[in-house]
Structure formats: C-alpha cells, structure tokens
Amino acid sequence: MIIAVTGSSGMIGSALCKFLESSGHRVIRISRNPDDEIFWNPADGVIDEKGLDGVNAVIHLAGENIAGRRWSNKQKSLIYESRIKGTQLLTKTLAALPSPPEVLLSGSAIGFYGDSGDTPVDETSPQGDGFLASVCADWESATKPAEEAGIRVVHLRTGIVLDPFNGMLEKVLPLFRLGLGGRLGKGNQYWSWIGLEDEIRLIAWLLSKDISGPVNLTAPEPVTNAVFTKALGSTLRKPTIFSVPSFGPQLLIGQELARELIFTSTRAIPAVAQSKGFQFNLPQINSGLKKILDY
C-alpha cells in the first residue's frame, strides 16, 4: 500500500512509519518540512493535494502536544485548533481528490470519555465532560467530509502509550529507578495504557480491516494508578512507598491539566479490536512492563 502519514516525527508516528516500511508498504510523510514528500501548513490552510492523489490510505496523527506546557487559554486554543483545523483541511482535501484513499485512520484519544470512575467504557459509551472530551468530539466530527466522500474513517482513541524513551514513562522512570516513585493522589484513578508495540501493530491492523468509527487503542486490562505504580516498582525491583499529594502535580503543571491528564479515571476497554480478533502482545501490565523495559 501507499500510505500517507501526518505526525510522522512524533513518538507514535516515527515508530509506525518504520514498522509500515519494514512490512513492505511505501510511506509518504506529510509535514511542514519542505524536504518531506508532501508539504502542509494547517495553520495557513496549505496542503499539497497533488501528492495525496492516488494514495491507498492516510494515517492522521498530527497535533499539538497535550502535555507540552501549562494550559493557558492560548495553549488550549493551540491544542484545539491544531487538531480541528488540521483534520478539516486534510479531510476536505481528500474528499475532493480524483482518486481518494480507501481509508483514513484519524487520531483521537480516550479523553473523549472524560472521568468514568470505576465504570468500564467502550466505543459505544457517550462523550464525557471536560476540555479533552470536547476536543476529541470535535476532532472526530472534523472527519465528516471524508466520510461523506465514501472514505472509510476510523477514529484512533489512544490511551497512555508506554515507551521508555518517550512520553509519560520516560518522565517517571528516573524517579522510580531511584526508589522515589509512588502513587499519585489516592491512586484509585484508572489509567488505560497500551505498549507502543501494540499501538503501532493495532494501527497497521486497522488499515485492512472492515472497521469504521471509534476504536479504543488500549490494552485489555486498564489498571489504577496504584496498581501501575506497584507494577513499575516491582519490574525495576525498587520500593514504591512514597505518595504524591494531588496538589503537587497541580502546582507543577497547573490544576486543569493535572486533573484531566493525571487524576481523571478512564477505564477504557478495546471492545472493537477484541471482537474483531486483534491479539495484543502486551495485554497485562506486569508482563507488559517487563517486556517494554527489557527486564
């Protein structure tokens, strides 16, 4: 297949492109780098539509880093517009192509569900409350032009992606390796995680499956922060006796960002992937962390 990818330089995008190329696909990178195959600048509404004509699939992962900095009104606007404007530009362009792609896999997140407490949520669950839930809902709605043009659209509702060199895990590993890791707040908030390996395998799998609409990209066994903390400490053979009060992260990154990113409880189940036969290599947190960290 010829597959065009936005967000190809990010944690997920870079690993995905390597995986797809090693599987024999031709990958075309869409970026603001003029040296890449397809140039675009969503903020200015610019995209090289000729380069997209005739591709078999598009994977859309681009967007401002959610946790890159504190959530000022300006930063929240940047997070929102980078997703909605970029998706609108891309999908309207794809819909107008003489030879549009067969499928669009478009980024989203389990933030769609908001805080669900202990209640499991799957792809049939309603939108929750909060800034991220609103962003995700509008992000997914922005793919409508592609859907109306007959393109199969999948919304990739990604959870916490675990990779020792990027993201959340990279940030907490130094503390845990020193024996200073601990649960955050009460630790009863559910974290829906997925190993980077399964993340890219699942995205690639969705390219050829007759699946559309939302798909949760999360491991089958979401765990509480307390369970995650214990599993990481056990993997590293380090104690996890400390507890971080909720006001700590709130002071560090801001109250709203801490609440939605760290203390919101989302127990997301990958019901669609499981019902269609996808096999997770890392289904369980203890064995998953050992493989991810090569222990």
DSSP string, 71-133: --HHHHHHHHHHHHHHHHHHHHHHHT-SS--SEEEEEEEGGGG---TTSEE-TTSPP-SSHHH
Distance CA 53, CA 94 (A): 8
Q: What angle do CA 66, 5, 170 make, to 5 degrees?
A: 40
Distance CA 242, CA 155 (A): 38
* Residue 183 token pair: 């649960």
pLDDT per position in the chain (295 positions), as tens? 999 999 999 999 999 999 999 999 999 999 998 888 999 999 899 999 999 999 999 999 999 999 888 999 999 999 999 999 999 999 999 999 999 999 999 999 999 999 999 999 999 999 999 999 999 999 999 999 999 999 999 999 999 999 999 999 999 999 999 999 999 999 999 999 999 999 999 999 999 999 999 999 999 999 999 999 999 999 999 999 989 888 888 888 899 999 999 999 999 999 999 999 999 999 999 999 999 999 8
pLDDT value for 295 = 86
Residue 263 near residue 246 (C-beta atoms within 8 A)? yes
pLDDT value for 185 = 94
pLDDT value for 252 = 82
How many CB atoms are located within 10 Å of the residue 17 CB?
A: 21
Give CATH for domain 2-163+193-218+268-281. 3.40.50.720
pLDDT value for 247 = 83
* Residue 131 token pair: 């800034």
> 23 CB contacts (<8 Å, ≥6 apart)?
204
Place of tokens 């380090």: 238
pLDDT value for 248 = 85
Distance CA 40, CA 33 (A): 8
pTM of the model: 0.95
Distance CA 251, CA 68 (A): 15
Distance CA 102, CA 98 (A): 12
pLDDT value for 130 = 95
Give the start-to-end residue ranges of the domains of the chain: 2-163+193-218+268-281
- Report the b/e string of 153-185 with b at 16+ CB within 10 A: bbbbbbbbbbbeebbbbeebbeebeeeebbbbb
pLDDT value for 74 = 95
pLDDT value for 35 = 84
Distances in whole angstroms, Cα of residue 187 to Cα of each of 93, 152, 263: 45, 39, 8
Distance CA 292, CA 247 (A): 30
